[in-house]
Chains A and B, each alone.
Chain A
Amino acid sequence: MKGDTLGIHGGFRVDSVTGATAAPIYQTVSYAHKSAQGLAEVFDGKSPGYLYTRLSNPTTTALELRLAELEDGIGCIATSSGMAAIASAAMGLLRAGDEILAAAGIFGGTVSLFENTLGRFGVTTRFVDAGITEQFAEAVSERTRLVFIETIGNPRMDVPDIPAVADIAHSVNIPLVVDNTVTTPFLIKPGEFGADIVVHSTSKFINGHGTAIGGAVIDTGNYDWAKGRFEDIRKVSEGMGKTAFLAHLRNLIYRDLGGCAAPMNSFLMLQGLETLGVRMAKHCINAKELAGYLRSHRRVGWVNYPGLGESSFSDRVVKLFDGRGGGLLTFSLVDKERAFGFIDCLRLAKNLANLGDAKTLVIHPSSTIFHEFSAEQQVRMGVTDDMVRVSVGIEDFEDIRGDFEQALEKTFEAGK
């Protein structure tokens, strides 16, 4: 089945008891078993079954199966947030003394997780320019245990050469973890380009309506855990084969961290997936239109949208995303004062910390998501004081353009 069909039918067809066509919300903490022996066997891993919603839940299972099918992966674990997904994947791979090799221009929360939180446990992170593949090759070391990139760096908007970075990771037998949040499987299935693990914040385009927080970890099946550099996962692979990493997470890391998906949120993600294909197409069209409009506006300094023909990443956008540049862009408005003034003048677009909503969203990254980082760190991440980030929604484009036009006019009126 194709993506548009899997988004609707993947993982769940009809409820076997009632015939319900929407996945039932199993709003339960636990699951009764008929016998003490039966429950003991499930606990012991000798028999499949639901035990406790922190481990698994039928509504969340439907979401996991659908996401795994959409990413063409071998399995998925849904989490309480995108950060919980990245934390689970990273902590499943890393030990004190290990290194992460990561793209520099990625989500500030991920940078903080790697540098600050995991840094407290003896993990160090090397950041490199995602656009310059050679930097990955130079920075990878014997201590590297995880290579991490975003398909399009948020907010730097740089596009790594995913197959080349995968080759570098694999040259030292290390998995490549790719955050596919801003592109979704409708623009790219990173596993087809060599990624080993795909992570998502499902709160963004997958949910699509700003109604629930969630995340996901998907194993693409590319990495051979039985021959990998992770002794504990190698051991798990003796019983669990190719699903060793997911079993390692489910039965240890994810279980112990407690970042489980809420059943209601899993339901909302399933709803979002049903329309993701058509929404992504419209996000991409509107974003490209808005990028073109802003580029031609005399008050706008620069526009950073990888889907523009003049972008230095346009070749990779064609190769990796079939020419579609996603729904996110950044642009410059002289300085922080004008950027703030513009945001305050918008009527339709919402000023908030999120992306991937059906609504058009804006934010001034430097003073919000990245406010805790030093000026030097912000430069490394591609964040500047004059920069506004836009998550372009799926409203009628003329209404988006009209809103931006009136806000730009007001910001610069009377020769300001």
Chain B
Amino acid sequence: MKLVVNGQQVDSKDGLTVNELLAEQDVKMPEMVSVEVNGRILKRSEFEAKRLSEGDAVEFLYFMGGGHGTE
């Protein structure tokens, strides 16, 4: 299935979970990431069970602080 991850189209296996996507995308510091799916921030407890669907827009967000970061 196709997902939009951080604005980029990505091909993934059907029905993968958020945790599986984090591993598949080799997301850095997964314990720190906030995951937004179609505009909703998931609770961390949802990462294991939440299955993604065709066309879902997924954003990996970190607010742990950089120099000027996103400002």
Q: Do A and B bind each other?
A: yes
- The CA-CA distance from A72 to B46 in the complex, in Å, is 12
CB <8 Å contact, B70 and A236: yes
CB <8 Å contact, A247 and B69: yes
Nearest CB of chain B from residue A114's CB, rounded to whole Å: 25
Nearest CB of chain A from residue B42's CB, rounded to whole Å: 9
Question: B10 in the interface, Cβ–Cβ < 8 Å?
Answer: no
Question: A369 in the interface, Cβ–Cβ < 8 Å?
Answer: no
Nearest CB of chain B from residue A42's CB, rounded to whole Å: 6
Question: A132 in the interface, Cβ–Cβ < 8 Å?
Answer: no
CB <8 Å contact, A69 and B41: no
CB <8 Å contact, B65 and A74: no
Question: A1 in the interface, Cβ–Cβ < 8 Å?
Answer: yes
- Whether A250 contacts B28 in the complex (CB less than 8 A), given A69-B44, A242-B36, A242-B41, comes out as no
Q: Mark A212-237, 1 if CB is under 8 A from B, else 0.
A: 00000000010000000000000010
**A56 surroundings in chain B (CB, below 8 A):** 64-65
Question: A51 in the interface, Cβ–Cβ < 8 Å?
Answer: yes
Question: A55 in the interface, Cβ–Cβ < 8 Å?
Answer: yes
**A77 surroundings in chain B (CB, below 8 A):** 63
Nearest CB of chain A from residue B41's CB, rounded to whole Å: 4
- Whether A251 contacts B28 in the complex (CB less than 8 A), given A45-B70, A242-B41, comes out as no
Q: Mark B6-37, 1 if CB is under 8 A from A, else 0.
A: 00000000000000000000001101111010
Nearest CB of chain A from residue B62's CB, rounded to whole Å: 4
CB <8 Å contact, A65 and B69: no
- Whether A239 contacts B39 in the complex (CB less than 8 A), given A65-B44, A75-B63, A246-B63, comes out as no
- Whether A74 contacts B70 in the complex (CB less than 8 A), given A49-B29, A55-B64, comes out as no
CB <8 Å contact, B61 and A47: no
Question: Which of A1, A44, A51, A75 is B34 in contact with, Cβ under 8 Å?
Answer: A75
Question: Which of A1, A44, A72, A248 is B66 in contact with, Cβ under 8 Å?
Answer: A44
- Whether A251 contacts B65 in the complex (CB less than 8 A), given A61-B32, A241-B36, comes out as yes
**B29 surroundings in chain A (CB, below 8 A):** 48-49
Nearest CB of chain B from residue A145's CB, rounded to whole Å: 19
**A247 surroundings in chain B (CB, below 8 A):** 61, 63, 69-70
Nearest CB of chain B from residue A310's CB, rounded to whole Å: 39
- Whether A236 contacts B71 in the complex (CB less than 8 A), given A44-B66, A48-B62, A50-B64, comes out as yes
- Whether A55 contacts B65 in the complex (CB less than 8 A), given A240-B70, A247-B70, comes out as yes
Question: A126 in the interface, Cβ–Cβ < 8 Å?
Answer: no
CB <8 Å contact, A241 and B61: yes
Question: A243 in the interface, Cβ–Cβ < 8 Å?
Answer: yes
- Whether A251 contacts B41 in the complex (CB less than 8 A), given A47-B28, A241-B61, comes out as no
CB <8 Å contact, A252 and B66: no
Identify the closest chain A residue to B27 (Cβ).
A48
- The CA-CA distance from A74 to B45 in the complex, in Å, is 12
CB <8 Å contact, A252 and B28: no
Given contact pairs A1-B45, A48-B28, enumerate 19 new A-B contacts (beta carbons under 8 Å). Answer: A43-B67, A44-B67, A45-B70, A48-B62, A49-B28, A55-B65, A55-B66, A56-B64, A61-B31, A69-B43, A236-B70, A240-B61, A246-B63, A247-B70, A250-B64, A251-B65, A251-B68, A251-B69, A252-B71
Question: Closest 9 A-B residue pairs measured CB to CB?
Answer: A55-B65, A45-B69, A43-B67, A251-B69, A45-B66, A247-B63, A74-B41, A48-B62, A56-B64
